[in-house]
Each structure stands twice: as C-alpha cells, then as structure tokens.
Amino acid sequence: MTERIRNILKEHGRLSKDAATLPEDADLYQAGMTSHASVNVMLAIEGTFNIEFPDSMLKRSVFESIAAIRAAVEQLTAGG
C-alpha cells in the first residue's frame, strides 16, 4: 500500500523531494505539497483504493505524511 501511495504522491503531489525515498513521517506540505496538489492526491487515492473520504476526514492533518495517509486508507478499507 505504501508503494502505491508513494506513486500517487510522485504523480500528483508536486513535491520538491523524491516521493520514493521520502521518510514515512516527513511533512508533505514542508516537502512542497500545495493545498491544490493535495486535492489531486485525495482524488487519486479515492480512485486507486476505491474508497471515499468522508467530509470529516478532509483536512490537512489526514494527508500530512505518507504514514498519515496510510492510516486513513486503512481505517476506511477496514470499515468497508
């Protein structure tokens, strides 16, 4: 799962650092992800993992690191 998240970040995150080697807890916004880019990341994750983020999860902190994104995806796939 982490690899797929890294690929999505590589394609849509507009990071100034390499998504493949970025530490899992590194702050993606400090790595250059804008809020516009984060929306594209959210869309790609919803599409890739066939999930829908509820509105209550649509906030910066849920998408602030690879680890945070993985936790969110796990939470939604476990529930479904």
Partner 1 sequence: MNDPLDRVQRIAARVAAPHAADVDAKARFPREALDALREERLLATFVPRDLGGLGCGIADLAAMCTALSQQCASTGMVFAMHQIQVACLVRHGLTSPFFRQYLQDLARDQGLIASVTSEVGVGGDTRTSVCAVERAGGRFTLNKDATTISYGQHADALLVTARRDPEAPGGDQVLVLLRKTDYTIAQTTSWDTLGMRGTCSPGFKMLSSGAEEQIVPGSFADSSSQTMVPFSHILWSGVWLGIAADAVARASAFVSAQARQKPGQLPPTALRLAELSAKLQSMRANVHDVTAECDTLLKSPEGNEALLTMGFALKMNNLKISCSELVAEIVHKALLICGIMGYKNDSDFSLGRQLRDAHSAALMIGNDRIYAKNASMLMVFKNR
Per-residue x/- track, 33-72, partner 1 (CB under 8 A): xxxx--x--xx--x-----xxxxx-xxxx-----------
- Smallest gap from Cβ 60 to partner 1, in A, equals 6
Contact criterion met (CB below 8 Å) for 14 and 34: yes
Determine, following the binding rule CB under 8 A, whether residue 29 of this chain makes contact with partner 1: yes
Backbone angles phi, psi at 63, to 5 degrees: -115, 20
- Smallest gap from Cβ 55 to partner 1, in A, equals 5
Long-range pairs, 74-79, Cβ under 8 A, ≥24 = 74/1, 76/49, 76/51, 76/52, 77/49, 77/51
- Smallest gap from Cβ 35 to partner 1, in A, equals 7
